[in-house]
Copies of this chain bind each other. A is one copy, B any other.
Amino acid sequence: MSRKRWRAVKEIRIADVARLAGVSTATVSRVLSDPDKVRPKTHDLVMEAVRRSGYIPNSTAQKLRTRRTMNVLVVAPRLTNPVFAEILRGVDDELTESSYGIIIGNLDNRREREARYVDLALSRQVDGVLLLTGYVPANGTRSMSGSGLPIVAMCAAIQDQKIPNVVVQDREASSRAVAFLSDLGHRKFGYISGTPSSIIEVERFQGFLDGIAAAGLSDNDFMRWEGPFVFSTGVAAAESFLRMKERPTGIFAACDESAIGIIKRVRAERIRVPQDVSVIGFDGIEFADYTEPTLTTFRQPLYELGRVGADVLLKLIRGEMKAEDWNIRLPLTLLERDTTGPVLHKDYKSLRRSAL
């Protein structure tokens, strides 16, 4: 009886199952990993023993022996950002289907947290790394690339022969945003940036500049407000906007949050959107469909991005492809909603006056 007690407490090992089934540990192992290599009769015998004992293999031992962890590290700048959360969903679904686990490296916008995840990669706790950061995390002396582990860059591209990129066409879309506003008659623009050091920001701003040039405009035709990818950046931009005499009529925000922030703030001052100012966002977060007015923005294929990125990484891990082969750029979709409209002509009042 005291033995039975022990059972409940002590972990069941493969040797226990082997004894119970009257076979060797090797056979048990085979049944569990490659059933076809074993006679059906033995198979059933073993499975019965597994069931009766409630045996579950110790995965740490498996990992040590096989040198595969079946885990992937995903490094993200900030988890509370819905953009990353959605990408993560795609990643998770793809990895789960191949029974890979996911270890989350949340930097929470603090670079000092990188060290921990560099060590994680270097100490072989994962089989591959997904980077949503736009750069390869480093720990003073050591960089994550030193691990020799397969790495895939998502979200923001990384210039490195060894690292395939799976990104969205930020630059093209940003350029299209300007064209869209320009087609509505806007000639004076505002640009609300994201975190200036972020590669995503750099790409989007570059696209914005491309658009400005394509519209036949110059540096003098727009205003740039800086700040991180958050609501309050838009609010701060609004304060500046409100103080201006010659206000832009078309505003491009590098993320939906800051677009929402500026709209909220200027509306409080009785400035009408889109009549007085048009605003276009970027990302297509779910919330953008619940603002007032609903936000015109570019939808990123985030979930798909997650799936594709994870798929590329798995292929890399399995040796099914070489890193050089892949640079995927997914297109964005313009969601034309209610914060953008034709420019109200500058000389509106004087026109009216002269018409009298």
Asked if residues B64 and A92 are in contact (CB atoms below 8 Å), the reply is no
Q: For residue A159, which residues in chain B have a CB less than 8 angstroms away from its CB?
A: none
List chain B residues, Cβ under 8 A from A58. 64, 123-124
In the complex, which of the residues B59, B125, B231, B264 contacts A124, with contact meaning CB atoms closer than 8 Å? B59
Which residues of the other chain, B, contact A286 by a CB distance below 8 angstroms? Answer: 231
Say whether A60 faces chain B, with CB atoms less than 8 Å apart. yes
A50 interfacial contact with B, CB 8 Å: no
CB distance from A306 to the nearest CB of B (A): 11
B69 x A89 contact (CB < 8 A): no
Are B85 and A231 in contact (CB-based, < 8 A)? Answer: no
Minimum Cβ distance to chain B for residue A48 (Å): 14
CB distance from A13 to the nearest CB of B (A): 11
Q: Taking the complex as formed, is A337 at the interface, i.e. its CB lies under 8 A from any CB of chain B?
A: no
Q: Are A69 and B80 in contact (CB under 8 A)?
A: no
Interface residues of A in 110-167 (CB under 8 A from B): 113, 116, 119-120, 122-125, 142, 146, 148
With A88-B79, A89-B79, A231-B290 already in contact, the answer to whether A61 and B59 are too (CB < 8 A) is: no
- The listed residue (B82, B101, B260, B261) touching A82 by CB distance below 8 A is B82
Q: Could you say which interface size class chain A belongs to?
A: 35 or more
Bound: A109/B276 CA distance, A: 42
Please give, as numbers and ranges, the residues of chain B lying within 8 Å of A122 by CB-CB distance. 56
Contacts of A64 in B (CB 8 A): 58, 60-61, 64
7 sample A-B contacts, Cβ–Cβ < 8 Å, listed by A number? A60-B60, A79-B85, A79-B88, A101-B103, A231-B286, A264-B290, A290-B291
A→B interface (CB under 8 Å): 9, 11, 54, 56-61, 63-64, 69, 79-80, 82, 85-86, 88-89, 92-93, 96, 99, 101-104, 106, 108, 113, 116, 119-120, 122-125, 142, 146, 148, 231, 260-261, 264, 267, 286-287, 289-292
List the 4 closest pairs (A to B, CB-CB), nearest first.
Answer: A59-B123, A80-B85, A60-B63, A56-B122
Alpha-carbon distance A159/B291, docked complex (angstroms): 39
A101:B124 contact, CB within 8 angstroms: no
Judging by beta carbons under 8 Å apart, are A56 and B92 in contact?
no
What's the minimum C-beta distance from A264 to chain B, rounded to whole angstroms?
5
- Give Cα distance in the complex from A29 to B77, angstroms: 34
Docked pose: A106 CA to B88 CA in angstroms: 10
* Cα–Cα distance between A292 and B80 once the two chains are bound (Å): 22
Q: How far is the CB of A267 from chain B (nearest CB, A)?
A: 7
Are the C-beta atoms of B106 and A89 separated by less than 8 Å?
yes
A260 to B289 Cα, complex, angstroms: 11
Smallest CB separation, A142 vs chain B (Å): 7
List 17 additional A-B contacts (Cβ < 8 Å) besides A96-B113, A96-B116: A9-B148, A56-B123, A57-B123, A59-B124, A60-B63, A60-B64, A60-B125, A61-B64, A80-B85, A80-B89, A89-B106, A89-B108, A99-B116, A260-B290, A267-B292, A290-B291, A292-B292
